[in-house]
Amino acid sequence: MRLTILAAIAAICLPLAAPAQGSDQTLADIRQELSVLYVELQTLKRELSTTGGAQTIAPSSSVLDRVNVIESELQRLTAKSEELEFRIDSVVKDGTNRIGDIQFRLCEIDPGCDIASLPETPLIGGGESPIAPRPTSPASNDGAQLAVGEKGDFDRAKAELDNGSFQNAANLFATFTEAYPAGPMTAPAHFYQGDALTELGQSSEAARAYLNAFSAEPNGAQAPMALLRLGQSLGRLGQLNEACITLGEVGTRFPGGEAATEAQASRVSLGCS
């Protein structure tokens, strides 16, 4: 599938911080992360052990004293349970994210693995997400629900981009996509983040942003331009073969549009066959 080709481009052709790192070292890193995760889970398990610290009530105490002791103990236990609930939720979220990252990295190593087909990582221990869903505001123009503050955050980042404050815009869009990872404005946020990074000369990071924009909505309104910008970014990175393939995909998936025309011009300038 062509989408698989794009996923492979993202995994292989976009260099990470240490592009020369071998698979042996990567596997060692994965084993180390699994060990750290195991230790954290064991620490969490110890939280369930009792300490024998419950307060007892003397039989000779008055009714008022007993009520005060019970009330104090209830407050202490409530505060402790809330603290432990927060810690457990944090460990579950962090552990699930780490396992998902390990699965992704293992898939990168395995030549037969399709990154695009990786399922979502189930939560450690099962159940629903420990993070409460954001309250939503009335539906946007396309019928999708917007989280409270989502449009305002997006507009602030877009204003920075329009004003030429590219670093601020890139930072704000990065924060936006972390805060609203699956909202109706997430794909445009990735796209504009790519534009800001392109203006900053950060082609590798821009390519990832454009790929994220396309992956978020492969058939969305900005998908043709996101795929075009991804191909152009790969060209600037010197990944000519992958750039030509990606630019060719623009005309195949979205024929007849502005993006297809620009993609063909970019293919000519890169000398694609």
Q: What is the pLDDT of residue 4?
A: 46
Please state the rounded mean pLDDT for residues 78-101.
73
∠ CA 66-68-72, rounded to 5°: 120
Res 90 pLDDT > 50: yes
- 30, with CB counted inside 10 A (0-12, 13-18, 19+), is middle
More confident: 168 or 180: 168
- 40, with CB counted inside 10 A (0-12, 13-18, 19+), is middle
Q: What is the pLDDT of residue 183?
A: 81
Q: Looking only at Cα atoms, what is the longest distance across the chain?
A: 94
Res 142 pLDDT > 80: no
Q: What is the pLDDT of residue 109?
A: 66
Token digits for 268? 């000519």
Q: Which amino acid is at 78?
A: T
pLDDT tens-digit map of 147-163: 667 888 999 999 999 99
Q: What is the pLDDT of residue 13?
A: 47
pLDDT tens-digit map of 217-229: 888 888 999 999 9
Please state the rounded mean pLDDT for residues 167-193.
91
Nearby residues of 98 by Cβ (< 8 Å), 6 or more positions away? 33, 37
Most confident of 26-35, 77-86, 231-240: 231-240
Can you list the alpha helix ranges (DSSP code H) found in 110-239? 150-162, 166-179, 186-199, 203-216, 223-236
- Residue 125 region, left (φ>0) first, then alpha (ψ -120 to 50), else beta? left
Residue 125 burial (CB count, 10 A): 13
Instruction: List the one residue out of 188, 202, 207, 92 whose CA is nearest residue 144.
Output: 188
Alpha-carbon distance values, 157 to 103, 163, 167, 205 (Å): 32, 10, 10, 17
Res 141 pLDDT > 50: no
Q: What is the percent of the chain where pLDDT is above 70?
A: 56
Please state the rounded mean pLDDT for residues 51-74.
65
More confident: 172 or 147: 172
Q: What is the pLDDT of residue 118?
A: 63
pLDDT tens-digit map of 23-54: 445 666 666 676 666 666 666 666 656 555 55
Residue 258 — pLDDT band, cuts 50, 70, 90?
very high
